[in-house]
Structure 1
Amino acid sequence: MVTGATGVFVIPAVPYLQALGLAKDDLVQALGLSFTVSTVALAIGLAKGGALHAGGLGLSLLAVLPALLGVWAGQRLRHRISPTSFRRWFLICLFLLGLELALRSVW
Structure 2
Amino acid sequence: MSKDTLAIALASPHNTRLYEQRIANKPTAILAFFKQLRRLVPDFTPATALVCMAHTGLYNPPLIEAVQALALPAWVEHATQLNACAGLRRGKTDAIAARRIAAYAARFVDRVPL
What TM-score do you get using the length of structure 2 for normalisation? 0.27
Structure with bigger RCO (C-alpha 8 Å, 6+ apart): 2
What TM-score do you get using the length of structure 1 for normalisation? 0.28
Instruction: Write 1 or 2 for the structure with the bigger share of helix.
Output: 1
